Amino acid sequence: MQFTERLQFLRVEKGIDEKELSDATGISESVIRLYEKGKLHIELEHLKKLADVFEVTPKLLLGTMFPDLTPEEALSSYRLVQELVETREKEKQSQDNASSSVIEDEPAASEDNNTEPASSSEERPASWDGYLKSGKVALFKRIKADNPFDDNEVEDHWSLYGAISSLYGNDLINYYYLRVQDDSMLPTVHDQAVVLVKKNLAINNNDLVVIMGQQGEAMLRRVTLYDDKIVIICDNTAYPTEVHNTADYTILGKVLWKTNGI
């Protein structure tokens, strides 16, 4: 009964009765009462009109968005997500250079060395270690919840760019690389790209992080924390935004750098 519960909640939350809702939508008062009692299936045209009045999406009203949350929690989460999306768009528009981004583009080649870092050990030039300093850290193919940072999942060991260690510290034990295994963060990060991550950094709202639930594998996601809730966002809009209990997820580090695709 997701739809009926949400319809009643949104109407009451807006402070209008069935007649006022009827006047606002053009749907008869009797039909609205039947909808709220669950005695009539909602028509698509009516669903859109009701969603417009309540300033939500039809999915939120129908109950397919945040289906496990109460109407109050679902509406709160929806508004939170909308606020985050608007904030992200404003931040993107206001960014003047890559240094203000959450993640940094690949380091540009120095004047004395025209070779750019490649995305795999086979492609890296012999001069790689000449200007990438501070030792090497593990590149993981994946990180599993049942055995995080398993040596058997190490694909390679890559050097750490000197500018990164100068900015974030030379404590190599807290750094790792991770190969991305899906397209959930397109267009920001491509499938099979590699990201550099550091543990134990302060996480700000909208940061790109590696996060892991109690089961499965670690994921690359953008997050915002609110008290006991965590909002998990994919840059690829084909993937849904999710709201979960903070206690159910562990942040394994903040993304500092990425390769440009495969």
Domains of the chain by start residue, with CATH? 2-94 (1.10.260.40), 98-258 (2.10.109.10)
**Per-residue pLDDT at 260:** 66
24-68, pLDDT tens digit by residue?
999 999 999 999 998 998 999 999 999 999 999 998 899 888 887
174-211, pLDDT tens digit by residue?
999 999 999 999 988 999 999 999 999 999 888 899 99
Q: Is the dihedral of CA 188, 192, 198, 199 positive or negative?
A: positive
Average pLDDT over residues 234-250: 91
62-118, pLDDT tens digit by residue?
988 888 788 888 888 788 777 766 766 666 666 544 444 444 444 443 344 333 344
132 versus 7: the higher-pLDDT residue is 7
Q: Is the pLDDT of residue 15 over 50?
A: yes
Query: How confident is residue 123, by pLDDT bands cut at 50, 70 and 90?
Result: very low
Q: Is the dihedral of CA 253, 251, 80, 56 positive or negative?
A: positive
**Per-residue pLDDT at 28:** 94
